[in-house]
Amino acid sequence: MGGTGACNSLLSNDVVPVPSGPPRKVEVEAVNSTAVKVSWRSPVPNKQHGQIRGYQVHYVRMENGEPKGQPMLKDIMLADAQWEYDDTTEHEMIISGLQPETTYSFTVTAYTTKGDGARSKPKLVSTTGAVPGKPRLVISHTQMNTALIQWHPPVETFGPLQGYRLKFGRKDMDTLTTMEFSEKEDHFTATDIHKGASYVFRLSARNKVGFGEEMVKEISVPEEVPSGFPQNLHSESSTSTSVQLTWQMPLLAERNGIITKYTILYRDINVAYQPVELPVVPADTTMTLSGLKPDTTYDVKVRAHTSKGPGPYSPSVQFRTLPVDQGR
Rg, the chain, Cα only: 38
Q: How many structural domains comprise the chain? A: 3
What is the reported pLDDT for 8?
40
Q: Is residue 66 domain-resident?
A: yes
Helix (H, G, I), strand (E, B) or coil at 181: strand
Question: 325's torsion region: left (phi>0), alpha (psi -120 to 50) or beta?
Answer: alpha
Last residue of a domain, one of 102, 126, 150: 126
**Number of residues that this document lists for the chain:** 328
Let me know whether 32 and 106 are in one domain. Answer: yes
Let me know whether 114 and 149 are in one domain. Answer: no
Closest by CA to 32, choosing from 131, 163, 133, is 131
Q: Is residue 2 domain-resident?
A: no
Let me know whether 145 and 112 are in one domain. Answer: no
Q: Is residue 1 domain-resident?
A: no
Beta partners for residue 278, in sequence order: 264
Distance CA 295, CA 311 (A): 31
Let me know whether 140 and 118 are in one domain. Answer: no
Question: 158's torsion region: left (phi>0), alpha (psi -120 to 50) or beta?
Answer: left
Domain hosting residue 152, numbered range = 136-220
Q: Is residue 272 domain-resident?
A: yes
Let me know whether 258 and 290 are in one domain. Answer: yes
Tell me the CA distances in angstroms from 54 to 108, 119, 174, 315, one per residue in order.
Answer: 11, 13, 51, 82
Residues whose CB is less than 8 angstroms from the CB of residue 180 and which lie 6 or more positions away in sequence, other chains included: 163, 164, 165, 166
What is the reported pLDDT for 83?
55
DSSP of 213-237 = PPEEEEEEPPP---SS--EEEEEEE
Let me know whether 181 and 278 are in one domain. Answer: no
What is the reported pLDDT for 87?
66
What is the reported pLDDT for 111?
87
CA 210 to chain centre: 17
Let me know whether 107 and 174 are in one domain. Answer: no
Q: Are strands 215-220 and 198-206 parallel, antiparallel or unpaired?
A: antiparallel
Distance CA 248, CA 224 (A): 19
Q: Is residue 311 domain-resident?
A: yes
pTM: 0.66
Let me know whether 21 and 122 are in one domain. Answer: yes
Let me know whether 211 and 254 are in one domain. Answer: no
* Run means of pLDDT, 10 residues per run, the chain, 328 residues: 41 54 90 91 74 89 91 85 64 91 93 84 92 95 88 93 97 94 96 94 95 95 96 93 96 95 96 88 92 95 97 96 76
Q: Is residue 116 domain-resident?
A: yes
What is the reported pLDDT for 117?
82
Last residue of a domain, one of 201, 220, 239: 220
Q: Is residue 3 domain-resident?
A: no
Q: Which residues of 77-112 are buried (b: 16+ CB within 10 A; e: fewer)?
A: ebeeeeeeeeeeeebebebeebebebebbbbbbbbb
Let me know whether 100 and 172 are in one domain. Answer: no
Q: Is residue 50 domain-resident?
A: yes
Last residue of a domain, one of 126, 157, 184: 126
Let me know whether 275 and 216 are in one domain. Answer: no
Let me know whether 103 and 201 are in one domain. Answer: no
Residue 91: CATH number of its domain: 2.60.40.10
